Structure 1
């Protein structure tokens, strides 16, 4: 990352290619997504028994937060809760070809969105696609938000985040996986956005307005 921050992106990306072989066998299994300070988020997903790592890859001073201790091992045992998946109020599909597609109406109140990863694969920044929910404010600039979502830019994922409230989401998962985002949607302006370079060009940026009352979003 130091090379990228210094303006030598080619050398920086080449250095990532020299990571140990085991790194390229890591499977990204999802997570809760970006959450602003003071907020709580809920994402439900299925984890098979095994060893996992939870990490934060937001940056401060050009360094990932995982380097500051924001990483923790998680062991999932063979025991099961037999819990059923949440009941979704609408469906979302993510894919490289179709971008972000929503089936159903976004309405005020507590919503559970089933996020289906139709496919998966690395984008220009070596990672796959995911989705995050952001409540936009009067001072939010969507173009700044879009640029910030690319970690491979020196200013991408760097604190402080652009104006807005991150409410969680569904981190990168393998093709065929489903995660469930549960969030309270109050009247206001929102965006679903993927953490990929230029998400709008890939159909992975969707802004919407939750109106007062029980009407659907527009």
Structure 2
């Protein structure tokens, strides 16, 4: 039996089961579904979006850039108050990136203190590096780096507390030299901000340095109950896939994104939602469908030469997942801001085989629509 087969059979399936159980039983704070339910007309969209940085008290700019072989996230601030927060992902590179947020569980914080390690370094050692070791084992051409093997948790491979980390949203896939904006509600806590898109040889960007720490204080900012006004709605669920009104006019929009429920899929995460323009290289539906699974050798691979990966991702909302959502007892809401030009687009989730799950839907914005 090959090493990759061993990993997929003896590690992946049991870990998915453990992860699901941990998510269901892990304690967590409720994600408020607070919204002002303001729907903007086309005449109001431009002024609303242009003043977003003034009306939203929490604005975090995340600059993605490359310095040689190092991949870097630069955060405009590393501490914000609790409440609605707009993340502006400025992709100053030629590779696709996103900014996935995960709330770090208390057991991980305790472990870092016990080991006398910085929290981010502790996470990288026990989560980021083992994931790279796992990925390398799936790539027959790669040589394993046993410095990344998780000696402290070799029996379980990943730390027991990893399933308690709560995916908390963030900007979706954003192509090179593109900026995207996403608004999510964050509770008090410490959050990992990372990109796990892979480079041309299968290294996660987080493994190459694109990972940072964000602290959310227990103070309530002015944006505690100030969710953005929106122009369109889109929802996603494990049962019905992606649902939306296909008659979308051209122009600037804020999409209210509703996660109706959640599930843990084969790639160890829940569903998210992303927007990509159709007709650019790997943006062709069949190629896109396969690309959205990081566990496949070529999945989520992107290169600065634009030879790999879809050519025009516009952003979206990363996975938001709580035990209550897994149980179908809670929904989550986030907001995605985008300027739509006439053309063909695809909503797609980063899950294995999104098309079969109803999570890859095409639509057209016509030349004559809009203001």
Please report the TM-score for the alignment, with normalisation by the length of structure 1: 0.90
Alignment partner of 2:183 out of 29, 39, 44: 44
Tell me whether 1:20 sits opposite 2:159 in the alignment: yes
Measured against aligned partners, the alpha-carbon deviations of 1:151-187 in whole angstroms (never above 9, x if no partner) come to: 0101000123434311110100023111101100001
Alignment partner of 1:145 out of 288, 301, 308: 288
Tell me whether 1:6 sits opposite 2:140 in the alignment: yes
Taking structure 1 as reference, are residues 136 and 211 closer, same or farther at Cα in structure 2, changes over 3 Å only? same
Tell me whether 1:201 sits opposite 2:356 in the alignment: yes
Is residue 272–residue 349 contact of structure 2 (8 Å, CA) maintained in 1? Answer: yes
Measured against aligned partners, the alpha-carbon deviations of 1:64-116 in whole angstroms (never above 9, x if no partner) come to: 11111100000011233322111121221111101011147311001111111
Match of 2:218 in 1: 78
Q: CA deviation at 1:6?
A: 2.2
Tell me whether 1:87 sits opposite 2:229 in the alignment: yes
Taking structure 1 as reference, are residues 47 and 205 closer, same or farther at Cα in structure 2, changes over 3 Å only? same
SS in structure 1 opposite 2:288?
A: helix
Once residues 155 and 270 of structure 2 are traced to their aligned partners in structure 1, the CA distance between those partners, rounded to angstroms, is: 15
Task: Return 5+ residue gaps in structure 2 as ranges.
Answer: 1-134, 142-153, 326-330
Alignment partner of 2:334 out of 179, 188, 198: 179
Q: Map 1:35-184; keep pairs closer than 5 Å.
A: 35-60=174-199, 61-83=201-223, 84-103=226-245, 105-137=247-279, 139=281, 140-160=283-303, 161-174=308-321, 175=325, 176-184=331-339
Instruction: Output the aligned Cα RMSD.
Output: 2.0
Is residue 250–residue 367 contact of structure 2 (8 Å, CA) maintained in 1? Answer: yes
Match of 2:124 in 1: none
Q: 4+ residue stretches of structure 1 with deviation over 6 A? A: none
Once residues 82 and 101 of structure 1 are traced to their aligned partners in structure 2, the CA distance between those partners, rounded to angstroms, is: 32
Q: CA deviation at 1:17?
A: 5.7
Once residues 69 and 164 of structure 1 are traced to their aligned partners in structure 2, the CA distance between those partners, rounded to angstroms, is: 23
Please report the TM-score for the alignment, with normalisation by the length of structure 2: 0.54
Aligned residues: 209
Larger radius of gyration: 2
Once residues 191 and 310 of structure 2 are traced to their aligned partners in structure 1, the CA distance between those partners, rounded to angstroms, is: 32
Comparing 159-168 and 191-200, the one that deviates more: 159-168
SS in structure 1 opposite 2:319?
A: coil
Comparing 163-172 and 24-33, the one that deviates more: 163-172
Is residue 89–residue 104 contact of structure 1 (8 Å, CA) maintained in 2? Answer: no
Is residue 148–residue 155 contact of structure 1 (8 Å, CA) maintained in 2? Answer: yes
Is residue 343–residue 364 contact of structure 2 (8 Å, CA) maintained in 1? Answer: yes
Comparing 89-98 and 101-110, the one that deviates more: 101-110
Alignment partner of 2:346 out of 191, 198, 205: 191
Comparing 102-111 and 181-190, the one that deviates more: 102-111
Match of 1:12 in 2: none
